[in-house]
Structures are given as C-alpha cells and as structure tokens.
Amino acid sequence: MSNKGLFIVKPVEPAGHVDAGEPVEGSLKGEATLKRTLTARHLVLLGVGAVIGAGIFVLTGQAAANHAGPAVTLSFIMAGFACALAGLCYAEFSALLPVSGSAYSFSYATLGEFVAWFIGWCLILEYLFASSTVAVGWSSYLISFITGTLGLPFPAELTQAPIDWKDGHFVSTGSLLNLPAIGIVAAVSGLCYVGITQSATANAIVVAIKVAVIACFLGFGAQYVDPANWTPFIPEAQGPGKFGFDGVTRAAAIVFFAYIGFDAVSTAAGEAKNPQRDMPLGILGSLAICTIIYIAVCLVLTGMTNYTLLGTAKPVVTAIEPYPALAWLKTATEIGAIAGLSSVILVMLMAQPRIFYSMSRDGLLPGLFGKIHPKYQTPYVGTVIVGVLACTLAGLMPLNVLGELVSMGTLLAFATVCAGVLVLRYTRPELARPFRVPVAIVICPLGVAACLYLFWQPFTEHWLIFVGWTVLGLAVYFGYGYRHSKLRRGH
C-alpha cells in the first residue's frame, strides 16, 4: 500500500525497548516526553476511580426501574463481560505499545491512520463529554448535601444549565448556569495541569473514601434486604426494551456507561514505570474489582427497596431513606457520591489531553496540543483547552443525550481495539508480547461482536447527532490532519 493512502500504518516500537523509569520515546525523537512515575497500584486505583461513579450512584436505579428490574444484576454482568473481552485486548496492546493514546495509538499501529483518527475522535465523546456529564451529576449530589443534609441555602439559578432537551426540542430552565459543575471541572483541571503524580495521589484518596462508603452500604444495607423484592427477578415484558430479557439487554447497553473509564488506564501507559507488567495488572485488576462491586451493590439495592421506586437520580439514597437507623449512612453516601464522581472527572480530564498529545505528535492536530510543561512535564495546553470546553458543556449545555453518545463512541473504540489485536497477530507475529490474549482467535471476535451488539441497542434517536459529530471529525481530518501527518510526510 502506498504511504500516501488513508490506511498508512504507524511502525510498531517493540515493548522491550522501553525500560522502567524511562521517558516515553513517542512518535518523534528529540521531542519533549512524559515522565514515567506510575506503578501498578496507581493504575488500579486510576481504573477504579474512573469506573466507580455514575454507574453505582445514578444508572443502577434507572436501569432497574425502567428496563430490567432486579435482573439489572445480569445487565451489569453482560456489560462487564464485553468490557472483560475488550480489557484483555487493551492489556495486550498497552504492554506491547507502552505509549500514551489508548485505542488511538493501538489503531494507528494496526488498522491505519484514518481508522485511528476516527477512533481518536470517538474517544473525545468518551472523555470530554463524559467528564462534563459526570460533573453535572456531581453537582446534583453536592447541592442535595448542602440544601438537605446541611440545611443551607443555594441559589436555584446556579444549579443547572439554562436550557434542557425535552420532547425533541430545547426548553428554558430559568437557570443561569450550573456553577458547582463548572467549579469541580476547573478544580480537577488544575490538578491535571500540575502533574499526573499529584493527580494520582489525589485520586487514591477519593477512591479510598468512595470504596469505604460503598463497603458500609453493602455491610449495613445487607441487613435490610428482603428477598421478596427480588421476585419476579426478571419482570414480565411490557414492550420493546422494557423488562423481560429484551429489557435486560437494553439495560446492559445503558449501564455500559458505568464501566467507561477502565480504558483510561491505557492512556497512562507512557507514564507507567514498568508498562509491560503494570498495564495488564492495572486494566484487568481495576475491571475485576469494579465488576464485583457492581454486582454486590445491585443485589443489595434491589433487595432493600422494590425496583419500581429506584428510578431517581440518587437510587442508593432512595433505598436507604425508609430506614431511620441508617440516617447516618444517607449522609455518608452523599459524601461518597461526591468523592466518587469527582474521581471519575479526574481520570477523564487526565486522559483526554493525552489523546490530543498523541494525535499532535503524529501531526494530525496542531502542535500546540503536544506542548509539554517545562516544570510539570504535562500536556498543559491540551489540559487547559479540555478544561475550558468541559466547563462550558457542564455549566451551559443539556447533557441528558450526551450520556448515550459517550457509550456509542466508547463501544466503537473497544470494538476497534479487539479487531486490532487480531490484525497485529497476523501482520506482526514476530513481536514479543509481554501479555497475550488467551485464545485470541475466539476472544477478539467475541469482543468485537459484543461491543457492536451493545452499540446498536439503545441509540436509535441519537444517530443524527453522532453522524454530525463524525462529519465534523472528517472535516478536521481532511482539512488539517491528512495534510500535516508526519508519518505521511515521511518524518
């Protein structure tokens, strides 16, 4: 294939050329690099911090009340299975190609530049829009804690976006902006600006708080479980996607959002001390921990309260409220949700600038996205740009549709990674692979099929938005990236 083609493939640098503690070589020699400071423990906490958040504190109840009933447990298992398949593929790729960029870098090395650009564009949906969406959820828990638990006033006009999307059109909310959402994004962006080591330390603290609160909910809430609430386990179908087995699969596609974040570990491959060992441990370890936690929370949540009552933005609090003896746990849960959602925002805002960094190093985005801070060794320009965009989305835009767009972009990225592993097995069999997907000829196609199956599930009304986003990405690629690609120009 001509090196001028759309699918020009980036050469693979063997993993053995990267030593523990050595900076990332990146795409071009002689350029600024990211510092290797993260251990396997940091990466596991990074993954848990990214995943545990919106799934437990928001999506679990809505999926149970509207689609799956108590069988939402099965929905999480189905979604977790798809993520496990993708996680194995991410683990092989991240150990083989220990550079920043996640699915973007993996696709560039296997499926070519055009596919890599498209996946990188999809990852913007995941990281940028997800951080904004979660920031709005964080805001709602903070406001509930301030006005409910503390009994303090908070201006209503500063609690939500000025517009909302209902019944196919925009409506005014009467509010000015979502100030707490803007505040948390700005604060977290500051952490990302000063360095990933500091960010990882802060993340470890909030993960510890979050896991402690979840453990309390499971331990004390289990005492109030009524097995009668689990009957019927799979409610009778009431229409397409509403209960029955079809509802379980529909819920699996929706709660997939709850697993978004484990792949963010792979974007930090360029900053891992020993990527060949630590990346598989970080990805698979965090995914295993999160899946077990989700299953346990689903069982206790639907056991404490009838599933029909859980369709709120605060399902865990809803389950606790009927029990006066657990009033203290309600407050602790609100604090845990605030900590949990903030850690999700942290990891998302850490990951997105590093996607920009990788794309800029390859010439597909302007060079300013690849600038590294001389003191903090972080992609500071990209961090500032992402922070400003995320603040704008979180404070001013209705985000009820963006959650599904996040899942769409992520599922496509996951499917591409699964396909890329198999492609590289055949095109570069001689590469030393510190971690290998077992039975790849089975696991990789299963991963592609599972991700695409979930991709087609709940998104019928949002295809136009996704297509519009794709067209915008194509315009950027052909308007700038194609002409400035360093690989295409032979640099």
For every residue of 422-460, DSSP letters joined together read: HHHHHH-TTS--SS--TTHHHHHHHHHHHHHHHHTSS-G
| DSSP letter assigned to residue 27 | S
Q: How far apart are CA 321 and CA 313, in angstroms?
A: 14
Are the CB atoms for 72 and 302 separated by under 8 Å? Answer: yes
List the beta bridge partners of residue 163: 172
Are the CB atoms for 131 and 345 separated by under 8 Å? Answer: yes
pTM for the model stands at 0.78
Q: How far apart are CA 344 and CA 334, in angstroms?
A: 16
Are the CB atoms for 121 and 410 separated by under 8 Å? Answer: no
Sign for the pseudo-dihedral over CA of 392, 396, 401, 404: positive
Sign for the pseudo-dihedral over CA of 350, 355, 356, 357: positive
Give the per-residue pLDDT at 466.
80
Are the CB atoms for 112 and 11 separated by under 8 Å? Answer: no
Sign for the pseudo-dihedral over CA of 170, 176, 178, 183: positive
CATH of domain 15-165+175-453: 1.20.1740.10
* Chain centre distance of CA 459: 18
Per-residue pLDDT of the chain (491 residues; tens, 9 = 90+): 445 567 787 775 555 444 434 443 343 333 445 567 778 888 888 778 777 766 777 778 888 988 899 999 999 999 988 988 888 888 787 777 765 556 787 788 778 898 889 888 888 877 888 888 888 888 888 888 898 888 899 998 998 888 876 656 778 888 899 999 999 999 999 988 887 665 667 667 777 887 888 899 999 999 999 999 999 999 988 887 789 988 898 888 888 878 876 766 766 666 777 777 787 788 888 888 888 899 999 999 999 999 999 887 678 888 998 999 998 998 888 888 888 788 778 878 887 887 888 888 888 888 888 888 888 888 888 889 999 999 998 998 876 666 777 778 888 888 988 998 898 898 888 887 777 888 899 999 999 999 998 888 755 556 777 888 889 999 999 999 888 888 887 75
Q: How far apart are CA 42 and CA 201, in angstroms?
A: 8
* 477: number of Cβ within 10 Å: 21
* 25: number of Cβ within 10 Å: 15
Which candidate, 165, 354, 184, places its Cα nearest to that of 269? 354
Which candidate, 272, 216, 261, 255, places its Cα nearest to that of 49? 261
Are the CB atoms for 291 and 441 separated by under 8 Å? Answer: no
Are the CB atoms for 356 and 131 separated by under 8 Å? Answer: no
Q: Where do the domains of the chain lie? A: 15-165+175-453
In angstroms, the first-to-last Cα distance of the chain is 18
